[in-house]
Amino acid sequence: MNEILIFVSIIVFLIICSAFFSCSETALTAVSEARINELVTQGSKRAKLIEKILKNREKMISTILIGNNFINVIASVYATSFAIMYFHQAQLILVTIFLTIILVIFAEVIPKTYALKNADQISLSVAPLINMIIFILTPATLFTAKLARILTGPEIEDDEAKTEELKGMIRLHAGEESRAIERGKMMSSMLDMEDVTIEAVMTHRGTVTMIDEKSSPSEILKIVGQSPFTRIPVYSGTKDNIIGILHAKELFRYLQKNNFQNVQSINLTNIIIEPYFAPETTLILDQLEIFRGRKEHFAVVVNEYGDLRGIITLEDILEEIVGEIDDETDLDVEGVKPQPDGSLIVDGSVTIRDLNRSLGWNLPDENYNTLAGLVLYESRTIPDPGQEFRFFNVKFRILQKKENFLSKLRLWNEVGLTNEKNK
């Protein structure tokens, strides 16, 4: 009888130890790092200990697994040895099954379920003991870690996977309220911007409002008055030769000094400010920092040869983060005209990014920026007016062409079409 009592006591002790390791593993894995960080700032020693443990998750998990498996092996061996000594063969099978059920329920399922519901509290409670066990089992964990690396190979850094994981976490924790959803979208947009250049979001030269330095005062006033923008590039000779930026406010101040009389005396060279040029390969986030540092809102985008590619504004960059920013001067996407039959008449210079944002489409823009560029790239030809193509569930018909530039197209969104290129 005493032998059975001792056996039960030892088995119960081993089950408690196994439950401790299972519970600790789940709690430390599921603990809220944000709350732990907050407790650290408040001076919690146990929170600092958890932070230290979580800095090397691999070592923590290895230690707990080694400890848990060691306990389970001892329990199995001891139970088997005891059963062989005191029970018949038929009873041995029953004892083994019973012990397995007990271990699964009381050493795995219940502890882990409880730990998931109370991860923060349990983590704070077990941190000191787990930290001591980690220290004791360091030689064993180092050996197993080295062996694992030899067998599995070096860890491969997958930045794309990490980005997708972050996006998933953002969506998971954003909530279902409209404001929370919008905040989640903003955070996801910032992750997408890491490798995006200003070329992808700039206003392309074909749609940029510009002023010739030789324009008459009346023409200047007309262009400024009709433009929804306050900053307009000024060129000399060719549009690639940008000599300055005309700010509507500076023009107003100039006229005010002259009491709005003698308008014909307007001299652009006395009003325009020096342009700031930005390479088209500049990353969006880098350009944002440059704008902040220079206290600029506007840049002329050029390629490696100094040719004009377009313009980029602070608003363009902010819209990539927060979505479309509308004000009283904003228009719908310029160059996009809906038709009664459901089609769209679109200028070839309209950017894919603007089109996607305005219509909720998902046309790719990795290899081109404008609608004309998409058709040229996907068709591998320079089509003539009247030709039709189908790409990405959209039907394209060429309406006008100026030299080799597709100036105007008609689009139909045809759900269910394949990416077949149909000439």
The per-residue pLDDT for range 151-179, each reduced to its tens digit, is 766 655 555 555 555 555 545 555 555 55
* Edge-to-edge strands, sheet with 344-347: 336-338, 344-347, 405-413, 394-402, 388-391
- Between CA 69 and CA 65 the distance in angstroms is 6
CA diameter of the chain: 117
Say if CB 238 and CB 212 are below 8 A apart: no
> How large is the average pLDDT for residues 102-122?
87
Name 371's Cβ contacts closer than 8 Å, sequence gap at least 6: 346, 347, 348, 349, 350, 351, 352, 355, 406, 409
Instruction: Locate 361 and state its tokens.
Output: 């489409």
Residue 327 has pLDDT above 80, yes or no: no
Say if CB 51 and CB 142 are below 8 A apart: no
Question: Which of the four pLDDT bands, split at 50, 70 and 90, describes residue 68?
Answer: confident
Say if CB 344 and CB 337 are below 8 A apart: yes
pLDDT of residue 170: 47
In DSSP notation, 192-240 reads HGGG-BGGGTSEEGGG---EETT--HHHHHHHHHH-S-SEEEEEESEEE
Instruction: Locate 246 and state its tokens.
Output: 């005309």
Residue 281 has pLDDT above 70, yes or no: yes
pTM, rounded to two decimals: 0.47
Instruction: Locate 63 and state its tokens.
Output: 């230690």
Q: Which of 253, 263, 254, 275 is nearest to 208 (CA)?
A: 275
pLDDT of residue 185: 57
The per-residue pLDDT for range 21-32, each reduced to its tens digit, is 989 888 888 888
pLDDT of residue 99: 78
pLDDT of residue 416: 41
